[in-house]
Amino acid sequence: MSRPAAPDRRLSPRQARQLMDSAYLAAATALLWLGLYYLPIGSPLFRLALPLPLALLQLRHGWRCAVEGLLVATLLLVALMGPIRGPLMLFPYGLLALWLGWGWRRRCSWWLTLGLGALIGAAGFLVRLAVLSVLVSENLWVVITSAAARFLEWLLGLVGLIPGLEALRIPAFDLLQVQLAALLLVLVQNLIVVLCLHAVAYWIFPRLKAPISEPPPLLRALVALDPL
């Protein structure tokens, strides 16, 4: 009596490509995070490049492959950096990559991807700041608020209000105003970063056969000049 034929377990070309892309782009994300964390130079470049591999993976193969790639990158970083520093890549870069890939794949408006992306970036920055404060046993938020206070004093000095306030013995700002200014600075910084991510993806991804949504007319002039 002949035995039944064994099931064919070979991967299809599409599955093989998904597996290869997931592995390579997850490894690229992990290497970029290692470079951002340990190398003393190039951090702005690494910060801009970090969400792009997983966003590209989602544009090519969908959200399931992007989540798998993010999981692989996180596990790799846990093995290389430990259970605390490794998962910090998720906040905000991993979550930001998933959101941008999802929005770009569905051709969402840049206003939506920019706005929510900036909020994800700011929230992730605060989570990372809290974890690092615990690791170094120092409140790093004080550094952010001090920078915000100096920025507000610079603005008042620019318009010439500091001497008048000092003469009247009126404090320039209270703690709540400084805290709100610090949060606003974090949000504006992340908005600029997410806008740069949109511009870089708009220039590069069409060459990789994964175009993103078109920019709105108000922002088209910012990305119309392709430097590549």
CATH number at residue 64: 1.10.1760
Whether residue 108 lies inside any domain: the answer is: yes
pLDDT, one tens digit for every residue, the chain (228 residues): 455 554 556 778 888 888 899 999 999 999 999 988 888 777 888 888 999 999 999 999 999 999 999 999 999 999 999 888 889 999 999 999 999 999 999 999 999 999 999 999 999 999 988 888 888 888 888 888 887 777 777 766 665 545 544 443 444 567 777 788 888 888 999 999 999 999 999 999 999 989 998 999 888 887 876 665
Whether residue 26 lies inside any domain: the answer is: yes
Whether residue 140 lies inside any domain: the answer is: yes
Whether residue 113 lies inside any domain: the answer is: yes
**Cβ-Cβ contacts under 8 Å for 203 (sequence gap 6 or more):** 223, 226, 227, 228
Whether residue 6 lies inside any domain: the answer is: no
Q: Is the pTM of this model over 0.75?
A: yes
Q: How far apart are CA 128 and CA 124, in angstroms?
A: 6
**Total of domains in the chain:** 1
Whether residue 5 lies inside any domain: the answer is: no
**Contact between residue 53 and residue 32 where contact means Cβ atoms under 8 Å apart:** yes
Q: How far apart are CA 89 and CA 84, in angstroms?
A: 10
Whether residue 106 lies inside any domain: the answer is: yes
Whether residue 4 lies inside any domain: the answer is: no
Q: Print the domain residue range for 64.
A: 14-223
